Chain A
Amino acid sequence: MAKPVSLGEFEQVVLLAILRLETDAYGVTIRSEIAKCTGRDPAPGALYTTLDRMEEKGVVRSWLGEATPQRGGRAKRYFALTKVGLDAVVSAQRAYQSLLNGLDILGGAHAYCFSN
């Protein structure tokens, strides 16, 4: 079996946002989904270079959608994960999960200690 593509932290955030948005993932919605879920507003430049890089790695694919008047008649560029991308994000999340196992930092006594 081929080794999954390695992903950076921001790449994982972007991929998970695309997965959450299903068929409506384009620049504007991806940014707002990240802001809504993580509380951080990514710079458009950082987001676009990450998306371009991930497309070149074969992690996501893109296609042009409809143009709207508020976009000055410019088409939206939609994104979706490829099989490679899905494998990569699942593998990365499994790694996080196995590191978290037995730590109990998301709830319980340790969570209380961290929050104080």
Chain B
Amino acid sequence: MRTASAIEWIFCRLTTKERAAAMLGDLLETGKEKGKLWFWLSVSGVALSLFWRRPLAFFVAYYAGSQMQYFSIMASMHHHPGNLWMQVYGLLDELVDTMWCLSLYAAIRYGLQERTTQMALAWTGICAVTIYFSWQPIVLTVSIGAAFCFVTTAMWTSKRRRESAVVLMTVAIGYAAKTLAAFSYLFLLTYCSSRAWGAKVIDSAIWFYYTESFLSFWVATSAWSYMRDRLMRRTLLESHGEML
């Protein structure tokens, strides 16, 4: 019984409480006929199938998002004066990085068919183009037009508004956490430099930044999962009128 409770606790970390209990109940019921080996293999299989998407999405999106941001900067730097870019767009650059990472995370974890993923990808594209190529009048006009269309369609129904709220709130949380990480890193770096503590301490500060950056992305992805689950539950409750 204690083993079953431990397994249920693990499943609860990966899915909702009701689903976890029902899955374990099914495995216990079948395990009585099929034996202990089948039971343990099935428990491992279920845990793995519930678990693998999130870490994969997390690391791939974190890496790929940073690369996408790098390519965007390189593309715009080709035409854009570097100094102005560094001074004016530093914070916006962090925003695009956060948006790329979160959109790719959603694409891997929930798939491209998901409305929130599509919304996040569309907004990321528009923001990236607007920020990096804003000095080109045609691009700026098209971006503003596209943004206006997206805002209009996103506000059309209450379901769309809720989906937009999930995307906006997650991006806001991710951006706030990432900015906080960047500022605390800069503060630490300035503090270490003022005391002349040497290269080793500065290396530690860089590791500190990477840890914080990972943590901030973890906070944002957790917020995304939490809000999306709530959104899904609400949508399901609303669609119960359509059931057989």
Contact = CB atoms under 8 A, between A and B. Distances in A.
Interface residues of A, number: 31
Contacts, number: 91
Contact of A81 (B48, B236, B244): B244
Interface string A65-78: 00110111011110
A48 B32 contact: no
A81 B243 CA distance: 7
A71 B244 contact: no
Contacts of B23: 27, 44, 48, 77
A70 B49 contact: no
Given A70-B29, A77-B18, A77-B19, A84 B50 contact: no
A82 B28 CA distance: 28
B236 A44 contact: no
A43 B42 CA distance: 7
Given A77-B18, A80-B243, A45 B25 contact: no
Contact of A52 (B15, B29, B242): B15
Contact of A48 (B4, B8, B21, B49): B49
Contact of A71 (B19, B28, B47): B28
For the side of the interface on B, what is the size category?
20 to 34
Contacts of B30: 28, 31, 44
B22 A75 contact: yes
A80 B45 CA distance: 25
User: Would you call the interface of chain B mostly helix, strand, loop, or mixed?
Assistant: helix
A77 to B, nearest CB: 4
B6 interface: no
Contacts of A83: 242-244
Interface in B9-67: 15, 18-19, 21-30, 32, 42, 45-50
Given A26-B22, A44-B30, A86-B244, 16 more contacts: A27-B22, A28-B29, A43-B45, A43-B49, A44-B42, A49-B49, A56-B232, A58-B236, A72-B24, A72-B28, A74-B24, A74-B28, A81-B244, A82-B243, A83-B243, A84-B242
22 contacts: A26-B22, A28-B30, A44-B30, A45-B48, A48-B49, A49-B49, A55-B236, A56-B236, A61-B243, A64-B22, A70-B29, A71-B29, A72-B24, A74-B25, A75-B25, A76-B22, A77-B18, A77-B19, A77-B22, A77-B23, A81-B244, A84-B242
